[in-house]
Structure formats: structure tokens, C-alpha cells
Amino acid sequence: MTDEPKQTIQAKVLEEIKSGHLLMRPKWRFALNLALFAVGMALALALVWYMVSFTIFILHDSGAWFGPSFGPRGWLAVIGSLPGVIIFLAILFVIVLEILVHHFAFSYRRPVVYSLGGIMLLVVIGSAAVAKARVHERLTSYAERHHVPMMAPLARVFRGRPNAHLFPGTIATTTENGFVLTTRRGDFIYIHISQSTRLPPGFLFAAGDKVMIFGDRMASSVTAFGVRPLCPPRQLPPPPGCDE
């Protein structure tokens, strides 16, 4: 009674093999499968690199990158500037990448935290390299100049979102209690400097200086909580008698 299924299973499978109904998959199918996994992983990694470096580019572009130098309120400004959709997609692709990597013994034999850590390291290094190579700056300006479908509107959507508290621009002229800032869009904003404004020590304002302002905007004026030079700061001249 117990031997019956044994005979049946073996006999059935062998019969299928002999009749030619059951065929071995050729080796190239498995090689192709492996290659597809590798391509999938490379593609997912490239997409994550693209999205993370694009986020860095947007933060630089909106000035939010400099937010942390203005303290906790600056950090909040950075968080508010993050492109949520892109961050969500990047996280999604990191999960996809982890699932693909988990297919291989070197990954599943170790805790997930190790492979995830390795992926994060690759993402940070790769994204920093892409951001440093100014790939997005070139791509965006190319897309805008040549009106590339999809890319140009996408760049406009993300680049055209100025931060509510961070204002990068160039000092047009100094005033009694601050200066007039020309924004990248060509608008003029009156910047009010008070005693509570955080300024780099020894910083002298002058027309033409590129600066980042952190503050609250009211119509066309901003009460500055902090000012940060975007170029090397102009220092006070040394006191008389201290010339080198």
C-alpha cells in the first residue's frame, strides 16, 4: 500500500521523460536568467543613483542644501524641500535592488542588514560621484535649451519650486539695515539684517556677493535669521599696523 505512490511517481515521471514530453531547459536559459538579474540590478542601481543625485541637485539649486548651516530651523527647511515623489521612488528601487540581490547566496546567507548596508554604501558613493560630475546641471540645461520631451517639463517642475525660507541670490546694493538681493529669477528682495541675524564673523557685504539668506518672507522683504556667503567671504581688512 505504501509502495504504490512511490511506483506511480517514478513511473509517471520516467514515462514523461522517455516520451519526450518532459525536456530539460538548456543551460543558456539559466545563463540568460542570471544575466537578466544582473541587468536588473545594474538598472535599479543606476536609477537610484540618478534619483538621489537629482535630489542633491535640486537641494543645491533651491539653496536648501545650505539649510543645515542655519541650525534646526534650517534642517526643517531642507526636509520641506525634499522632492517626496523622487525620494519614494528611490526607496522603492532600493527595495527592488535588495530583493534582486537576495537571490544570490552571498546575500541570503547573511542578515539583510548587511546587504542593505552594502547597497546604501554603493548608493551614497555613486550618487555623490554623479552629483560631483554635475551631470544633472548639464542634462537640465540641455533639456531646457532643446525642449527635450519629458525631461524639460520635469526639470521645470522640480527646479521651479523655490524654498519658502531660503533665498539664494546676489547682493544688488547695500541699504541702511541690510541689502537688496537679486534672486536667480531676477526678482528683488529687501533683506533686513538685525542684531539677532546670524552672520559669519568678519563678513562684509558688498554688491556682487553671492549669498544665501535664511528668513521669513513678507511680500518683497525678508527678515533674515541668517546669512551665508556662497563664495569665499570677504574679510575685514586687518587693523592698521598689522599689514604683512
Partner 1 sequence: MPDVTDEAIAAKVQAGDGESFGLLMERYEAKLTRYARRFLLNGEDGPDVVQEVFIKAYVNIKSFNPAKRFSPWIYRIAHNEFINAIKKRQRSREMLLSFFEPDIFFPHPLAKESASGEAERASLRAELEKNLNKIGPKYREPLVLYYFEELDYREIADVLRIPAATVGVRLKRGREALKKIMPTSPLV
Q: How far apart are CA 144 and CA 158, in angstroms?
A: 13
The window from 81-89, 109-117, 160-168, 192-200 that contacts partner 1 (CB under 8 A) reads 109-117
Q: Is 19 in the site for partner 1 (CB under 8 A)?
A: no
Handedness of CA 144, 145, 147, 149 (dihedral sign): negative
Q: Give the pairing type, strands 188-192 and 221-229.
A: parallel
- Determine which residue in the list 1, 26, 219, 243 makes contact with partner 1, applying CB under 8 A: 26
Quick one: 109 or 185, whose CB is closer to partner 1?
109
Q: Which residues pair with 191 in a beta bridge?
A: 179, 222
Residue 97: helix, strand or coil by DSSP? helix
The window from 25-33, 167-175, 185-193, 220-228 that contacts partner 1 (CB under 8 A) reads 25-33
Q: How far is the CB of 85 from partner 1 (least distance, A)?
A: 24
Q: Is 25 in the site for partner 1 (CB under 8 A)?
A: yes
Q: How far is the CB of 36 from partner 1 (least distance, A)?
A: 14
The window from 2-10, 50-58, 130-138, 191-199 that contacts partner 1 (CB under 8 A) reads 2-10
Set of cell numbers at residue 67: 539649510
Asked if residue 147 lies in contact with residue 193, where contact means CB atoms within 8 angstroms, the answer is: no
* b/e code 87-113 from CB counts within 10 Å (16+ = b): eeebeebbebbbebbeeeeebeeeeee
- Kindly state the number of chain residues that form the binding site for partner 1, as judged by CB under 8 A: 29
Quick one: 109 or 147, whose CB is closer to partner 1?
109
Set of cell numbers at residue 59: 537641494
Quick one: 68 or 111, whose CB is closer to partner 1?
111
- List interacting residues with partner 1 (CB under 8 A): 5-6, 8-10, 12-14, 16-18, 22-27, 29-30, 99, 102, 105, 108-114
